[in-house]
Amino acid sequence: MVDVKEGGDVALVNGGFDGIVLRKGEKYDLSLFAKQLEGKGGKIRVSLVQDGQVVAQTTLKAPKKEWKKMTAVLKAGADADKASIKVEPLGEGKVGLDLISLFPQNTFKGRKNGMRADLAQTLADMKPKFMRFPGGCAAHGDGLHNIYNWKETIGPLEARKPQRNVWNYHQTRGLGYYEYFQLCEDLGCEPLPVLAAGVCCQNSSDRGNGQQGGIPMEKMPEYVQDVLDLIEWANGDAKTTEWGKKRAEQGHPAPFNLKYIGIGNEDLISKTFEERYLMIIKAVKEKYPDIVVCGTAGPWSEGSDYERGWQLANEHKIDMIDEHYYRTPGWFIYHQDYYDQYDRNGAKVYLGEYAAHSPGRPNDIETALCEALHICGMERNGDIVEMSSYAPLLAKEGHTQWNPDMIYFNNTEVKPTVGYYVQKLCGNSSGDEYIESTLTVNEGRKGVRERLAVSTVRDSKTGKVYIKLVNVLNHPVKGKLDLGSLKDKFAQSQSVDARLHLLTGNWDDRNAKPTERTIQVSPEFEYELPAYSFSLIEI
């Protein structure tokens, strides 16, 4: 509420998050809700200002006695990196203002209320196959009252319920389930919404460390229905289902074709958890047997929760299990066979969160190459590991609670890490068929061999073959590759052109980027792996 006295000059001024970025000639959608509470009232002037200079300005009609949404389009007359929005009631009396929003029209794919174009394009360049949302501990929340409720994140922005989350930052819910599903559609990837398993995070601040709270059992049928309603909202017919109609009313009549749903996140596998978790999974599979349910194996990759989580998966035939682990570079080096030992007839694996953490938590050549080693192992075990995702994904400079992250950004720049480039190269060359391959090196020591990896895959749609080679040693390695199984590639000649994508640098290099050039390959050829390198040969 703003109270303007006679002859007064009162304004609301807000600088956004570290300033508002404006670009000359670009248009910005303004909206706000206003109501004249007392007094004569008058028009409302809205300005975008930097260093006392007006970059854009508009004047809105005087508000009425009832709440009304007021809109305008502002066109920037100059560039600005640290602008503020200034809202000035020009009349007298008390004016109520709510949900003041300034949004660029230049969003990813031109979506209204859409994603920041450069950030979303950085994701698109990875060619992701799926996207998990809302991510980790945000899903099961800081106490039962704070469990993420998807129904509060759809519909008009003014109807959404904002709240803080377990990481202690504010969520406006302007990016809700509708925008998330729409982004997945624009990226060409599958949505993987993750919902709480009827319990809050065991580290909730309102219960104390290790105290896991569960939704009262008499309220669980209502919560289970919320889960089922999400699937209906995503896939239901726009005319014959209640939640399908709501999706259509928001602007998307066609179903989103949801295939996956996650239940639980790093939960302690307690009796409280098990009862609610299995209740939800049973209800989903009974009503929607084709939906792939992704459960959880607790907060670690070993120990009692991990073992019980996997036991539940096998006893109840849960489709897929979400594993999380952050390990040292050495762990990744010495566990390249990690998934070789998994039961080939059990649940599939979704490695939902992983990263190599070295002292000081940098994202550099060493950590990125150790993650590349692990990707080679996951590709070899593609019959077990269905999906994987590095975590965390995004972090804004100056507001970062966790390191390392894959993509850092500020208001004007996007700063992909070395780890991002490994994920991008692998995401662009994942293939759908694993080809047994042999890499022979002139060094037999176990410690040397464990710092090398090879993975060969084929894309059946394009016919392309991708050979990934990783060297985490501090010196080059001369290797001989046997491609005898790729006879179709060499039917007419003894050698063919291939594209080499090479990422290399000093072990602590945080700014390395891949280079690309053409090389010649033959059924048997020698290739020297540079020190600290990831090579991707595209045939």
- Single pTM value for the model: 0.94
The reply to whether CATH 3.30.70.100 applies to domain 2-104 is no
The reply to whether CATH 3.20.20.80 applies to domain 108-427 is yes
Distance CA 501, CA 467 (A): 10
Domain 433-538: CATH class, spelled out: mainly beta
Cα angle for residues 354, 295, 322 (degrees, 5° grid): 10
SS3 call for 529: strand
Active-site position among 179, 232, 266, 353? 266
Per-residue pLDDT at 66 exceeds 70: yes
The per-residue pLDDT for range 221-267, each reduced to its tens digit, is 999 999 999 999 999 999 999 999 999 999 999 999 999 999 999 99
444 pLDDT band, cuts 50/70/90, is confident
Structure-token pair, residue 228: 């089922």
What mean pLDDT do residues 129-134 have?
A: 96
Residue type at position 107: T
pLDDT at 209: 54
517 pLDDT band, cuts 50/70/90, is very high
pLDDT at 207: 53
* Other beta carbons less than 10 A from residue 339's beta carbon: 19
Per-residue pLDDT at 315 exceeds 70: yes
* Other beta carbons less than 10 A from residue 416's beta carbon: 18
Query: Domain spans of the chain?
Result: 2-104, 108-427, 433-538
Selection from 92, 4, 16 nearest residue 49 by Cα = 16
Is 266 known to be catalytic? yes
Averaged pLDDT of the chain: 94
Per-residue pLDDT at 388 exceeds 80: yes
pLDDT at 401: 87
